[in-house]
């Protein structure tokens, strides 16, 4: 089950299905047939910056953070894969720079965060190539073949 939470102070259309579809499609792309629990939070730069400082010792806002977990959800008994935190202001800026709708950017960030939860990374060129290939395949399945992945999003 994919849980989606929105910062209520943000002026955005709360479309949970956008994130649920992105997360499920990503899971299917990496051949994960199992049921899992994931939480996606769409919030502001201040909260993302605080989390980034707290957990990564980086005092900046970023577009997406992923926090993997190896817990079992006590209510459902399903593996809890982790949390994906997305900055809506960063998504707006990146969508404008890339020339695509913010909804496409939000899905890209959800896919990117999901791949991190599934063990993908982009610390080396080889890892980046694997992750970007998976990311492109998922975006294609979501009908987002026209969006451009900006290098600054790393």
Q: What is the 3-state secondary structure (H, E, C) of the chain?
A: CEEEEECCCCCCCCCHHHHHHHHHHHHHHCCCCCCCEEEEEEECHHHHHHHHHHHHCCCCCCCEEEEEEEEECCCCCCEEEEEEEEEHHHHHHHHHHHCCCHHHHHHHHHHHHHHHHCCCCCCCHHHHHHHHHHHHHHHHHCCCCCCCCCHHHC
pLDDT exceeding 90 applies to what percent of the chain? 55
pTM of structure:
0.88
What percentage of residues in the chain have a pLDDT greater than 70?
Answer: 94
At 153 the pLDDT is: 43
Fold of the 2-147 domain: Collagenase (Catalytic Domain) (3.40.390)
What's the CA gap between 48 and 145, in Å, rounded? 28
Q: What is the pLDDT of residue 154?
A: 39
* Domain ranges within the chain, ordered by starting residue: 2-147
Q: Residues of 14-24 as b/e, b for ≥16 C-beta within 10 angstroms?
A: eeeebbbbbbe
Q: What is the mean pLDDT of the chain?
A: 88
Q: How confident is the model at residue 8 (pLDDT cuts 50, 70, 90)?
A: confident
Which residue, among 42, 31, 32, has the nearest Cα to 3 in the 3D structure?
42
């Amino acid at each position: 089950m994919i849980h989606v939470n929105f910062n209520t102070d943000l002026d955005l259309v709360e479309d949970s299905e956008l994130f649920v579809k992105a997360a499920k499609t990503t899971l299917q792309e990496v051949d994960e047939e199992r049921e899992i629990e994931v939480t996606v939070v769409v919030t502001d730069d201040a909260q993302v910056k605080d989390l980034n400082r707290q957990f990564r010792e980086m005092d900046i806002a970023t577009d997406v953070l992923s926090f993997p977990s190896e817990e079992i959800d006590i209510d459902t008994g399903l593996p809890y894969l982790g949390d994906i935190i997305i900055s809506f202001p960063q998504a707006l800026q990146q969508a404008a720079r890339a020339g695509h709708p913010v909804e496409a950017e939000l899905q890209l960030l959800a896919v990117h965060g999901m791949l991190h939860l599934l063990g993908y990374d982009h610390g080396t060129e080889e890892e980046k190539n694997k992750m970007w290939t998976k990311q492109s395949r998922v975006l294609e399945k979501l009908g987002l073949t026209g969006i451009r992945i900006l290098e600054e999003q790393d």
